[in-house]
Homo-oligomer: A and B are copies of this chain.
Amino acid sequence: MPKDYAAEILGGSSTAVARLITWLEDEDERAYQCMVKLYRHTGNAYIIGITGSPGAGKSTLTDRLTSHIRKAGLTVGIIAVDPSSPFTGGAILGDRVRMSEHNLDPDVYIRSMATRGFLGGTSKATGDVVKVLDAFGKDVVIIETVGVGQDEVDIIGIADTTCLVLVPGLGDAIQSMKAGIMEIADVFVINKADRAGADQLWAEVCYRVEQDAHIKSTDWSPTMVKTVAVNNEGVDDLWKAIGQHQDHLKNSGKLLEKRRERTYRETLRMIHNELFRVVREQLDSTGQLDHLVEDILDHKQDPYTVMRQIVKNWLSISQK
């Protein structure tokens, strides 16, 4: 009889968790079977997103924040999404393994994931991995990711509370890339706040937050926190700020609303990915597309008409 990985995960096996996450990354069919069983055990974890430029000190901050959460008696799952190459991804993984003081704590589960795959593969896997750690019983799940690119914005969209980590002196070009992310930040963290330029950055972010408050009709005005993560300074303030945002979401009914939207997006994305999987499998196995590609290259057919015809032939909903 094959091992029941879902049961093992619910029983506390971190080895089974690691195996399942690998299956999720590889889009292995066994992952699907497990997730079906695990789903009803999800919905309890609070999800925190930590994002910011490379070099902003996200890993250290996550590490220190984890200590605070552990002291509060809660268990933690950490998902570090690295935009590194599948070929060279080992470097950042190594970094993380080296830095964490929580490696020996059974109540902290840490997983690095490379950003990879075609068409938002990671975003999908990240949402699933959050569910795994949720079902695994972690009270808080932290997603740590570099805040650039649509994929990362999508990933951070999974979080209940999103913290954007900024640091003085990283330069305008990089900070401006954060524009898309700035709008979804619930808590701004000025890390390395002992550095020159911290006050100016604080003032800039203040100005930005106030401006946004005028433009957007929102009932949450982002909190701002100063930290020096390496010295463990301000991390308690960050944890408090997250707690305040959590209370706000719960009391206003926004948490349910947020999770409803997330479930909608995630289900839509799952359908999107599943469609692609089935279509690709079908086209690859029949060789149908190979012939069409030759015709398209020879300009005997155009890809737009081909695409519409294939879709028309395949979809049965139109007839129903």
Contacts and interface: CB of A to CB of B under 8 A. Distances in A.
A283 interface: yes
Contact of A266 (B83, B120, B303): B303
B299 A39 contact: yes
Main secondary structure, interface of A, reads helix
Interface string A289-311: 11011101101001111111011
Contacts of A88: 176, 179
Interface string A245-287: 0000000000010011001101111111011101110110000
B289 A83 contact: no
Given A84-B180, A85-B182, A272 B276 contact: yes
A220 interface: no
Contact of A272 (B89, B275, B292, B302): B275
Given A179-B85, A271-B311, A317-B278, A299 B150 contact: no
Contact of A35 (B117, B268, B302): B302
Given A88-B179, A180-B85, A268 B297 contact: no
B282 A317 contact: yes
Contacts of A317: 278-279, 282, 313-314
B292 A54 contact: no
A267 B280 contact: no
Contact of A267 (B183, B267, B307): B307
A152 interface: yes
A115 interface: yes
Contacts of A39: 299, 302-304
A177 B268 contact: no
Nearest to A54: B173
B268 A272 contact: no
A104 interface: no
A161 interface: no
A275 B314 contact: yes
Interface in A8-49: 32, 35-36, 39-40, 43
A86 B182 CA distance: 12
A305 B87 CA distance: 33
A122 interface: yes
B280 A268 contact: yes
A184 to B, nearest CB: 10
A267 B289 contact: yes
Nearest first, the 8 A-B pairs at minimum CB distance are A149-B149, A39-B302, A85-B179, A54-B173, A55-B173, A85-B180, A316-B316, A270-B307
Given A267-B293, A267-B306, A272-B275, 15 more contacts: A39-B302, A54-B173, A55-B171, A83-B149, A84-B177, A84-B180, A86-B180, A87-B180, A149-B152, A263-B297, A270-B303, A270-B304, A271-B279, A275-B279, A278-B317
